[in-house]
Structure formats: structure tokens, C-alpha cells
Structure 1
Amino acid sequence: MNWNYLILIFLATLAGGIIPMTIRRVNANFTIYLLAFTGAFLFGITIMHLLPEVYHELGHTAGIYIALGFFLQVFLQQLSHGMEHGHTHLPGEHHHHIAVTPLLLGLSIHAFMEGIPLGFQYEDQSALPSLMLGVAAHKIPEALTLITVMMHAHKQKPELWRILLFFAVVTPVAALLAGWMGSRFNIVSHYLLYVVALVIGAFLHISTTIFYESGTKHHELSSRKVLAIGAGLLLAFLTLIFE
């Protein structure tokens, strides 16, 4: 396990969470274009690196688990209310109480799932560093949205920091557990590939939802949003040089 990868993901998560705590009013367009860029980047990484790997190993069976992962993410979204793809317009957020626990639970399960593929040993040597970059980039808007929602729930600074630090370690811990167990138990290493397929489905749901939503009016694709998506896809293509 490359500790530099985990440290980068941890720091990216902290950076995303610090933004709303230090900037009184984050420009809505910044969040929209950041989501579009990171969503496209994650989509490209998934298509170019992870999909070929699981189909090579699992054959057509991979499609079953990818579909299951897609709809698992649909279920998790009921808990997180779509925070993983930038949604902050929560039911009842204009009232004094927001149900924080299910939001944090849903997003933490998603974050744990994100970490598991980072502990898998890929035949494609470019898959792991590329995936690490994709997850780290996705963590920035993810943490930004989480802390924004927690601030709307009137959480004070010390509690915001506790929530952010907890969230920042979930993905690295999942990667460490997957890597440790996979290297010691052959059966775990085998079934990790099925989990990776599930996570691919979740990534596809999140990234494609970002394309069409990301907070824009009527969910339109503005020219700037298209440019952000194009830049994310281009960066994903550039990761092929790691091969």
C-alpha cells in the first residue's frame, strides 16, 4: 500500500471541508464546475482503467455486479440525499433540525466503498495511481458539500472539525483494511474484485448524475460546464501515460 496515495486523499478531503469553513459564501458556480470536472475525471478513470480490469477477470459476470453497485448507490443516496454528487437542497433544511446521522452514515458508507478498490492489486499498473487521483479529486467537492450541510445544521466549529476528520480517514482506512486482508487471505483477494465491480457501478451512478445535475437550473449543460467535463475527461485520458 502506497501511503502517499492515502495521505493525498486525506489532505484532499480536509481541503474540501475547510473551504466552506473559511470562505463565508462559496460561489455556486465554483462548486458546479468543480463537480463537473471531478465527476468527468472519475468517470474517465472508471471507464479506462477499472472496467477493463474487472471484465478481464470476471467476464460477463462483472456486468451483474456493476449493475448491483449502481442501484446500491441509488439506495445510499436515500440516506445521503445525494451529497456525494453535490446536492445540498435537503428536505427540511430550512427548519431548525436536520437529521445529520443518516446523512453522515450514507456518505461514510460511500466513502468506505471508495477506499476498497485502493487496496486491490491490479494487473494494469496505471490503474491504482489513476484511481487514487480520481478519488482524491472527488473528495474535494464531496467534503465541501458535507461541511456545508453540517453548517446548515448549525454545527459548531469543534464538531465540524470532528466530522471532517472522521470523514477524511474513512476512505484511507478502507484501503488499508482491503490491502491488509487481501494480502493475507486469498479468498478475500478473490472477492475484492467483486467489490471493485460494485464500486464501479456506484462511480458510474455518481459521475453521470453530476453530468446532468450539479446544481444548474433545469439541469442544463452550459458551455462552461461542458468545458469542465471536457477537462476532466482529458485529464483521465492523460492517465494512460502511466501504463
Structure 2
Amino acid sequence: MNWTYLILILVATITGGVIPMTVRRVSENFSIYLLAFTGAFLFGVVIMHLLPEVYHELGHQAGVYIVLGFFLQVFLQQLSHGMEHGHTHIPGEHHHHIAVTPLLLGLSIHAFMEGLPLGFHYEDQSALPSLMVGIAAHKIPEALTLMTVMIHANKPKASLWRILMGFALVTPFAAILAGWLGERFVVVQHYLLYVVALVVGAFLHISTTIFYESGTKHHELSKKKVLAIAIGLLLAFLTLIFE
């Protein structure tokens, strides 16, 4: 387990959450382009590293679990209301009516799922560092959106910090748990591969939703958003040089 990468994910999550807590008004365009960039980078990492890995190990079974993961994410976003891909759904007036518990539950389950593949040992040596950087990048807009919603739910400052720190620890904890169990039980390492396939499906749902929906009107893609997506994909492509 590379602790440096886990610290990177922890710091990225806290950084994203601190932005709306310290900046009076976060530009909507900033969130849109940040989401587009990080979503594209994560999409590229999944396509170039994780998909080949799971298909090589699982064969056609991989497709079944990827589809299951895709629709598992569809279910989870019924709880989180799509905060994974930038949706805030903040009420216009009665902010205190925001149902905080389902949001936190859905997003925390998603964050836990994100961490489990980080405890898997990949044949592709560049897969794990690329995935960790992709998740860390994705955590910034994810935590930013979460804390924006919590602020509009009129949570006191102390509660905001507890929520942020608790959320920031979920993914590293899942990675440590998966790695620890995988090192001690061969069967756990084997079944982690199926979990990776599930998470691939979830990532595909999130990233493609970011491309075509989040922050756009009538599903339009602005030139700047296309540029952000292109840069994210280019950086994901560059991770192949580390193979």
C-alpha cells in the first residue's frame, strides 16, 4: 500500500471541501470545467488501464460486472442526487429541507467503492498510480459539491468540518482495508477483481454523465468544456508511458 497516494487522495478531498467553506462565491464555470477535466482523466484511466486488466483476468464475465456496476451507480445517485458528477439540487428557498442523510449515505458508499480497487494488485504497473491520481483529481469537485450542499443546508461550521473529514477518510480507509485483507486472504484478492469491474461500471456512468450533462443546458458542450475534456483525456493517455 502506497501511503503517499492515499495522503494525496485525503489532501485532494479536503482541498475540494475547503474551497466553498472559504470562498464566498465559487464560480459555476470553475466547477463545470474542473468536473469535465477530472471526469475525462478518470474516464481515460478506466479505458486505458482498468478495462484491459479486468477483461484479461475475467474474460467475458467482466462485461457482466461492469454493467452491474453501471446500474449500481444509477441506484446510488438516487440517494446522492448525482453529487458525484456535480449536481447540487439546492432548493431555492428552504435550504433546511435538504435531506442530508441520504446524500451522505449515497456519496459515502460511492467513496468506499472508489477505495476498494486501490487495494488490488494489478499486472499493469501503471494502473494503480494512474487510478490513484484519477480518483484524487475527481475528489476535488466531488468534495466541493458536497460541502456546497452542506453549507446551504445551514450546517454549523463544526459539523461541516466533521462531515468533510469523515468523507475524506472513507476512500483511504476502503483502500487500506482491501489491501490488508487481500494480503492475508487469497480469496479476498481474487474477489477484489470483481469489485474492480463493478467500480469500472460506476466510473463509466459518472464520467459519461459529466461529459454530456453536468453544468450544461440542453446537453450542449461548450468549447471550453470540450477543451477541458480533451486535456483530461490527453493526460490520461500520457499515463501509458509509465507502463
Query: TM-score, normalising length from structure 2?
Result: 0.98
> What letter matches 1:63 in structure 2?
G
Deviations 1:61-83 (A, max 9, x none): 00000000000000000000000
Is there any run of 5+ residues in structure 2 with no aligned partner, and where?
none
Looking at structure 1, the residues matched to 93 and 122 of structure 2 have their Cα atoms a distance apart, in angstroms, of 46
Please state whether the residue corresponding to 1:206 is helix, strand or coil: helix
Looking at structure 2, the residues matched to 93 and 15 of structure 1 have their Cα atoms a distance apart, in angstroms, of 27
Looking at structure 2, the residues matched to 89 and 188 of structure 1 have their Cα atoms a distance apart, in angstroms, of 38
Looking at structure 1, the residues matched to 49 and 133 of structure 2 have their Cα atoms a distance apart, in angstroms, of 12
Corresponding position of 2:234: 234
Please state whether the residue corresponding to 2:218 is helix, strand or coil: helix
Corresponding position of 1:198: 198
Segment drifting more, 213-222 vs 150-159: 213-222
Looking at structure 1, the residues matched to 76 and 166 of structure 2 have their Cα atoms a distance apart, in angstroms, of 19
Looking at structure 2, the residues matched to 214 and 51 of structure 1 have their Cα atoms a distance apart, in angstroms, of 24
1:6 paired with 2:3, answer no
Corresponding position of 2:107: 107
Is contact 1:93-1:152 (8 Å) kept?
A: no
Looking at structure 2, the residues matched to 220 and 142 of structure 1 have their Cα atoms a distance apart, in angstroms, of 22
Looking at structure 2, the residues matched to 214 and 97 of structure 1 have their Cα atoms a distance apart, in angstroms, of 23
Is contact 1:93-1:153 (8 Å) kept?
A: no
> What letter matches 1:105 in structure 2?
L
1:94, distance to aligned residue in structure 2 (A)? 3.2
Query: TM-score, normalising length from structure 1?
Result: 0.98
Corresponding position of 1:210: 210
Q: Where do 1:22-61 residues align within 5 Å? A: 22-61=22-61
Moved over 3 A (4+): none
Looking at structure 2, the residues matched to 93 and 144 of structure 1 have their Cα atoms a distance apart, in angstroms, of 19
Corresponding position of 1:155: 155
Deviations 1:100-136 (A, max 9, x none): 0000000000000000000000000000000000000
> What letter matches 1:239 in structure 2?
T
Is there any run of 5+ residues in structure 1 with no aligned partner, and where?
none
Looking at structure 2, the residues matched to 200 and 54 of structure 1 have their Cα atoms a distance apart, in angstroms, of 9
1:40, distance to aligned residue in structure 2 (A)? 0.3
Deviations 1:18-69 (A, max 9, x none): 0000100000000000000000000000000000000000000000000000
Q: Number of residue pairs matched?
A: 242
Deviations 1:169-204 (A, max 9, x none): 000000000000011001111100000000000000
> What letter matches 1:11 in structure 2?
V
Please state whether the residue corresponding to 2:166 is helix, strand or coil: helix
> What letter matches 2:204 in structure 1?
L
Corresponding position of 2:84: 84
Looking at structure 1, the residues matched to 213 and 6 of structure 2 have their Cα atoms a distance apart, in angstroms, of 29
Is contact 1:119-1:179 (8 Å) kept?
A: yes
